[in-house]
Amino acid sequence: MIKVLLVEDEENIRKGIGYMLDWKKLNIVLVAQAWNGKQGLEYIEEFKPDLVITDVRMPFVDGLEMIREGKKIHDFESIIISGFSEFDYAKEALVLGVSEYILKPIDYEELSEAIMRIKPKIKAKNPQTSSDPAIRCQSQKMKRIIKYIDDNLSQKLTLSDLCDIFEISSTSMNDLFKQEVNTTVNDFVNQKKINKAIQLIREEDYKIYEIAEMLGYSDYKYFNYVFKKYTDVTPSKFK
């Protein structure tokens, strides 16, 4: 599986990319999100991403410096997203081997297409991204759990429930989620539900409270709270 690191200091943009791109359709996994270049360098060392999507102007370490220093740690492809089209930025990005330079405001379709163009280069350099036996074995286990979650989004789906169903300890379950998708079980379930909620809001004619009930949230106000926590906006903004 191709691993992506997202580095962006503007929270609304970072959350927007995290939620608006169809990672499953792109067949890649967003392993981590950082809000500055210093944290990005730490995540490059920790997660060894295949692709880094980064802003340029950020606190502590800017995006170009992060790419330069990060490639001393681990080789990766990169996409720059920026509100600036200055020649100096573009020139340095070219020297650093940046694959794509996308201007803000972000066009999510344009970003998805850029990722698709880069994927063959990543697979050519790293064939083990899809063929490592250990990764494949772990992914099969994870796929079964994710399928169950996808099929039961109308349920509450607690960590305890999933541990009972898949006969695995809570520690092992959390370790698996941390290793595979770099998040907790509860966060993963909530993210899945919010993604489904966004889809229902856009494609169907349901009331917000009806969507909350369909996704196992008995408390409408709590659903609004969770939705805003993960997207930075209320459900009505997606209407």
pLDDT at residue number 229: 81
User: All domains of the chain, ordered by start, with CATH?
Assistant: 2-130 (3.40.50.2300), 133-233 (1.10.10.60)
Q: What is the DSSP letter of 205?
A: -
Phi, psi at 57, each rounded to 5°: -85, 110
Average pLDDT of 113-122?
90
pLDDT at residue number 3: 86
**pLDDT tens-place string over residues 178-190:** 888 778 899 889 8
Average pLDDT of 24-37?
84
pTM of the model: 0.58
Residue 41 pLDDT exceeds 70: yes
**pLDDT tens-place string over residues 208-239:** 999 999 999 988 899 999 888 877 778 877 66
pLDDT at residue number 139: 65
* Structural contact between residues 211 and 201, judged by C-beta atoms closer than 8 angstroms: yes
DSSP H helices, the chain, are 11-20, 23-26, 37-47, 63-73, 87-95, 108-125, 128-131, 133-151, 159-166, 170-181, 185-203, 208-214, 220-231
Backbone φ/ψ region at 34: left (φ over 0), alpha (ψ -120 to 50), beta: beta
Average pLDDT, the chain: 83
Report the C-alpha gap between 64 and 117 in whole angstroms. Answer: 21
Average pLDDT of 87-104?
73
pLDDT at residue number 87: 53
**pLDDT tens-place string over residues 120-171:** 888 887 755 554 444 444 567 788 888 899 889 998 889 999 999 988 899 9
Residue 84 pLDDT exceeds 90: no
